[in-house]
Amino acid sequence: MPNPASPSSNVTTDVVIIGGGVIGLEIARTLAQRGVKDVTVIERGRLGQEASYAAAGLLAPQAEADRADDFFRLACRSRDLYPDLAKSLLEETGIDIELDRTGTLYLAFADDELDEIERRYEWQTNAGLSVEKLTLADARALEPWISEAVHGALLFPQDIQVENRRLLKALIAANERLGVRFLTDTTVEFLNHEHGRVTGVATSRGLVSTRNVVLACGAWCNFIKTSEPQLQSVPIEPVRGQMVCLRAEPPLTRHVLYSPRGYLVPRRDGRLLAGSTTEHVGFEKQVTTAGVHSILSHALEIAPRITELPIVDTWSGLRPHAPDDLPVIGRSHDIEGLVYATGHYRNGILLAPITADLIAEAIAGNVQPDLLAPFAPDRFSLVA
Ligand SMILES: Cc1cc2nc3c(=O)[nH]c(=O)nc-3n(C[C@H](O)[C@H](O)[C@H](O)COP(=O)(O)OP(=O)(O)OC[C@H]3O[C@@H](n4cnc5c(N)ncnc54)[C@H](O)[C@@H]3O)c2cc1C
């Protein structure tokens, strides 16, 4: 199949995926692998340059979890798909997505935080999950740079990390090999439907006809208009996250270091990522003095010696957030052929493999997987 960067004339395709972030790219790959012949990803700008590029790459559902709910189970299942995903992408593309399985060290600095990690340790141990309790001495034996003010720590050996920018590169290459069509610098403006069924999308460069559309456009989902009857409202809003990138050569830490206020993520090339902020400021992507100040103060609390390290980069991204903090994944109940895959908020990198699996099952197998029930898009109209 030809792979044009933009449509010069109208295109017909089996599935349109709106948005070329980690969610759209992983869905496209999975659909193509499951035999859907003609998949088109439409991306407003360049592929993989928004939230998915800004992320820290943590695959850490256990570190912050206080119970085993539907979301926790979904997140753990997705995390556990990563080793196979990394292996497959290496075979398909030759790109190593740098899945690092050293684990995550969660640090407590005050008595109430110590109580919190104690409770987390208890329930996760009782649930048969892998977690170890460490004293300051244990933790410093693992990571000598952490602060002496640490009261205690949990080690989560299965909470791992991935180099999300390499993941995006690998997903793009894998899709190209599978013949997925990319229409970049092309904005989807309108979703067309007739008699309750998707018929296509109107883009800034022409019409694309299709019977299946996946909304994977992250924080921007609500900008896509429809003809009457209007779509149910899925209230996705952007939540800005800023990041600061330091350079630590030789590396300062092997584990991801996590506190209730921030984290430090070591990358193989000597970068050390410090994150993040959670800001409701609309579609504003600036990096601010206040943001950098807050990230660095939380990073310094974790490892005071980072004062010696140079700052080599800063950036920000817009997380797609639904009011109940949960992802929005599944078929529309208003329009046949329309599927949502958004609202992944702080966990889109983590949730990409399971989202893609379940969406592919929904489209290629024409079923609604049970696992998706708690994340269905119609939960907002039900509440209203
Ligand atoms: C600072 C920060 C740190 C994070 N850390 C982590 C982490 O450690 N672990 C984790 O799991 N998650 C993390 N996240 C969250 C994660 O990045 C997101 O949940 C995930 O990237 C969402 O992926 P997406 O594909 O839905 O969105 P995006 O990557 O934003 O992609 C959406 C795409 O849709 C395109 N688009 C929008 N509208 C249109 C349109 N009308 N037509 C065509 N294209 C359109 C956009 O241009 C964009 O490329 C972090 C996020 C931030 C900001």
Mutate to test the pocket of ligand 1, among 349, 350, 359 (most ligand atoms within 8 A of CB): 349
Q: Tell me, using a 6 A CB cutoff, whether residue 320 lines ligand 1.
A: yes
Among 292, 299, 297, smallest CA distance to 252 is for 299
Distance 219 CA to ligand 1 centre (A): 7
Q: pLDDT value at position 5?
A: 45
**CATH code 3.50.50.60 region(s) in the chain:** 10-53+166-235+324-383
Tokens 């909304």 -> residue: 215
pLDDT tens digit string along 6-63?
Answer: 455 578 899 999 999 999 999 999 999 999 989 999 999 999 999 999 999 999 999 9
Ligand 1 atom closest to Cα of residue 60:
9
Distance 284 CA to ligand 1 centre (A): 14
Distance 170 CA to ligand 1 centre (A): 16
Ligand 1 atom closest to Cα of residue 47:
49
Among 254, 256, 293, smallest CA distance to 277 is for 293
What 3-state DSSP class applies to 297? helix
Q: Tell me, using a 6 A CB cutoff, whether residue 45 lines ligand 1.
A: yes
Distance 43 CA to ligand 1 centre (A): 12
Mean pLDDT by 10 residues, the chain (384 residues): 48 95 98 96 98 98 95 97 98 98 97 96 98 96 96 97 98 98 97 95 96 97 83 87 96 96 97 98 98 98 96 98 97 92 98 97 84 92 54
| Amino acid at site 273 | L
Q: pLDDT value at position 381?
A: 75
| Amino acid at site 24 | G
Distance 308 CA to ligand 1 centre (A): 32
CA distances to 229, 293, 340, 359 from 195, in Å:
10, 53, 20, 23
Ligand 1 atom closest to Cα of residue 344:
19
Largest Cα separation within the chain, whole Å, is: 67
Q: Tell me, using a 6 A CB cutoff, whether residue 294 lines ligand 1.
A: no
Q: Tell me, using a 6 A CB cutoff, whether residue 262 lines ligand 1.
A: no
Q: CATH topology for 237-320?
A: D-Amino Acid Oxidase; Chain A, domain 2 (3.30.9)
- Supply the pTM of this predicted model: 0.96
Residue nearest to atom 52 of ligand 1 (CA): 55
List the structure tokens of 175: 């899709």
CA atoms of 372 and 384, how far apart (whole Å): 20
pLDDT tens digit string along 284-294?
Answer: 999 999 999 99
Residue nearest to atom 22 of ligand 1 (CA): 348
Distance 110 CA to ligand 1 centre (A): 33
List the structure tokens of 47: 């592929």
Q: pLDDT value at position 382?
A: 53
Q: pLDDT value at position 99?
A: 98
**CATH code 3.30.9.10 region(s) in the chain:** 237-320
Distance 8 CA to ligand 1 centre (A): 28
Q: Specify the CATH number of the domain 10-53+166-235+324-383.
A: 3.50.50.60
Q: Tell me, using a 6 A CB cutoff, whether residue 183 lines ligand 1.
A: no
Tokens 């979301």 -> residue: 71
Strands 237-247 and 160-161: unpaired
Q: Tell me, using a 6 A CB cutoff, whether residue 348 lines ligand 1.
A: yes
Q: pLDDT value at position 3?
A: 38
Ligand 1 atom closest to Cα of residue 265:
8
Residue nearest to atom 37 of ligand 1 (CA): 217
Q: Tell me, using a 6 A CB cutoff, whether residue 57 lines ligand 1.
A: yes
